[in-house]
Structure 1
Amino acid sequence: MSLNTVILAAGKGTRMRSNLPKVLHPIAGKPMVQHVIDNAVALGARATNLVFGHGGEQLKKALANNDVNWVLQEEQLGTGHAVAVTTSHIKDDDTVLILYGDVPLT
């Protein structure tokens, strides 16, 4: 059994009133989603699946140095759907940790 993380980062962040995807807004010198990725790595995750949609090219450019599985959520249909699009990247015996890309725990 191994840890497989899913980071939800597909939202538009309309309340932020910015052209920058919400998860790319900086906190403590780096994009908030980078803090989440770093925590997944620190936990020893076998794989990190980053669910993206809005601003995908910006995300890929900003996070290019990370070893993540890029999982496109073509239509943002909610949290459950975002997790569902990752199922092909998750093994039956994996322990799955679902993280929000805009909640950087440190």
Structure 2
Amino acid sequence: MDKQQSSQPGLSPPLDILILAAGLGTRMRSATAKVLHRLGGRPLIAHACRTASALVKEQRPIYVVVGHQAEEVKDAVRAELGDAGAIFITQT
């Protein structure tokens, strides 16, 4: 954050968001990635994406770390944020 931005009241620095979505979900005793389990009819990752997008005031991508069932997680994120709404980082 530069000094000019921090000294102006009412302005906050741009917010970058990172969602950790690479977990196996072993404690859930399921082969399904934990973020793909449903709550209220939607995958958990969709709830996280909706909250994250509400926090970002300007058009900025949301970073999502994927691993287990990466393609399915990416599909769920894209369904919530659109094609340009996320940048995916693969955990190896």
TM range (shorter): 0.7 to 0.9
User: Secondary structure, in 3 states, of the residue corresponding to 1:58?
Assistant: helix
Letter of the 1:73 counterpart:
Q
Q: What corresponds to 1:26 in structure 2?
A: 38
**TM-score, structure 1 normalization:** 0.63
Matched ranges for 1:16-95 at <5 A: 16-44=28-56, 46-65=60-79, 66=81, 67-74=85-92
Which protein has the bigger strand share?
1
Query: Does the Cα contact within 8 Å between 2:63 and 2:88 map onto a contact in 1?
Result: yes
Distance 2:54 2:74 in 1: 21
Which protein has the bigger helix share?
2
Query: Does the Cα contact within 8 Å between 1:3 and 1:47 map onto a contact in 2?
Result: no
Query: Does the Cα contact within 8 Å between 2:49 and 2:77 map onto a contact in 1?
Result: no
For CA contacts below 8 A with separation 6 or more, give which structure has more relative contact order: 1
Unaligned runs of 5+ in 2: 1-12
**TM-score, structure 2 normalization:** 0.72
Task: Give the root-mean-square deviation of aligned CA atoms.
Answer: 1.4
Distance 1:70 1:56 in 2: 9
Distance 2:67 2:74 in 1: 11
> How many aligned positions are there?
74
Structure with bigger gyration radius:
2
